[in-house]
Amino acid sequence: MTEPDRPDAPEPAPTHEIWRSLLPEAVLAGRGVPWLAASALDHLGDPDGERVALLAGGPVLLPRLAHGHLRLTGADRVPFVHGLVSHDVAALAEGAAVDALLLDHRGQPQAGLAVHRRRDDLFLAVHDGAGPVVARTLSEHVIFDQVTIEELDARLASLTLCAADGGAAAGVLEACWPGAGAALMASLAATAARTTAAPVAAVSTPHGRALLHPRRLGPAWAVDVHLLSEDLALAWARWMEVGVGPIGERAWTAGRVARGVASAHAEGRLGLPQETGLEDRISYRKGCYLGQEIMARVEARGRLRRGLRAVRLAGPPPGLGAAPGWRLEDAVGRAVGVLGSAAPAPDGDGWWGLAIVREDAEAAVPWRLVVDGEPPRVGPTEVGVSLRPTAAG
């Protein structure tokens, strides 16, 4: 996926203007909930229906308004990024991508991103509104490196297609871009045999150009689609014509929570990657990078005091929408963990959530969820909490 060489063509509209023409104005931003990035698409008018459609297997399509897009060129681009992010970029094959984290010196995730290695550049798809953080950090570390960093948010758009199986996802893409289905199926077959890096399908047809990055969302397949903004309106219209249901990040969160899939933005901010379900984005063998010393200490210690747990809530978190922090307490008021993401349970019985919980606290359930520093105006002060099987959903 490269910029077309058409010097006489008019400058395409910025990506956000195209999204604004395609999506309802009232739902273009998140609602201040901690597990949604500020610029995320909350929903498209029917959050409950969108959630049901996703959990039923789709296919559904999620606009990723909060994604950032960076392109790195120059002779030192691979060792430069390799020395900053948590996964092995140097070993990444051309035409493949890997999920990684940008950590700080304490080992805390600052951003989640996918690194795509291509012949002439590295393409970084940055998740959850963290594009400016990653761009600034990369720029600050360029000293004598032969690296050029280009921000492409105005020219690229990202979406995620989710379907119950790879064949359904391939069929949807084929309807939009003839030939894309076969390319995706080949990528899915190669992805299934790997534990980390995923082959990325590059599609170029008269109907559009895109990068297709497949990944698992529990038992379902999700495909990140990165395309030129000038192709977005046509692609979106074709997907709607073939009956793909559009969803927002609220429904996506419900799918993650039901399937126990952590987010770098929501759960990652609450602890170390090994505690928050993000250890698969870490390489212990790659050498130095930001936060590597802490990762090495965790590996050497071999035991964590906290871990990601699926929980059942008796109701919505108190103060939902006021962006507070939530803590879990046992019956005598001792802190046992913190809540990351939450969503209504698929069976209609309360809410489900993902929490970071002390390893020695499991016998203490049922717990209660309280607002951290709760102001009186946010409503209920506590919600009952119990563990639920991680395989639910």
- Cα-based distances in Å from 189 to 194, 346, 360: 9, 30, 40
Strand 109-117's sheet: what is its strand order? 148-151, 68-73, 122-126, 109-117, 96-103, 198-199
Instruction: Name which of 377, 281, 372, 379 is nearest 328 in CA terms.
Output: 372
Top-confidence range, 148-152, 171-175, 291-295, 346-350: 148-152
The span from the CA of 125 to the CA of 166, in Å, is 22
What share of the chain in percent tops pLDDT 90? 45
Which pLDDT tens digit goes with each residue over 29-65?
Answer: 556 687 888 888 888 889 899 999 999 998 999 999 9
Look up the CATH number of the domain holding residue 246.
3.30.1360.120
> Given a cut of 70, is residue 346 above it in pLDDT?
yes
- Which residues neighbour 26 within 8 Å (Cβ) at sequence distance 6 or greater? 45
Whether residue 321 is contained in a domain is answered as no
Which pLDDT tens digit goes with each residue over 120-134?
Answer: 999 999 999 999 999
Whether residue 380 is contained in a domain is answered as no
Strand bridging mode 306-313 / 325-329: unpaired
Kindly state the DSSP code that residue 317 receives in the 8-state scheme.
P
State the total domains in the chain.
1
The span from the CA of 190 to the CA of 194, in Å, is 7
User: Which pLDDT belongs to residue 35?
Assistant: 83
H/E segment holding residue 260: none
pTM over 0.85: yes
Cβ distance 337 to 355 under 8 Å?
A: yes
Whether residue 166 is contained in a domain is answered as yes
Whether residue 108 is contained in a domain is answered as yes
User: Which pLDDT belongs to residue 392?
Assistant: 41
Which pLDDT tens digit goes with each residue over 191-229?
Answer: 766 666 778 888 887 767 899 998 888 778 899 999 999
Which pLDDT tens digit goes with each residue over 269-296?
Answer: 999 999 999 998 999 888 888 888 887 8
What share of the chain in percent tops pLDDT 70? 87
Whether residue 362 is contained in a domain is answered as no
Whether residue 149 is contained in a domain is answered as yes
Domain range enclosing 220:
15-259
**Dihedral of CA 368/370/372/373: which sign?**
negative
Region 10-35 average pLDDT: 74
Whether residue 285 is contained in a domain is answered as no
User: Which pLDDT belongs to residue 87?
Assistant: 93
Whether residue 117 is contained in a domain is answered as yes
Greatest CA separation for the chain: 71
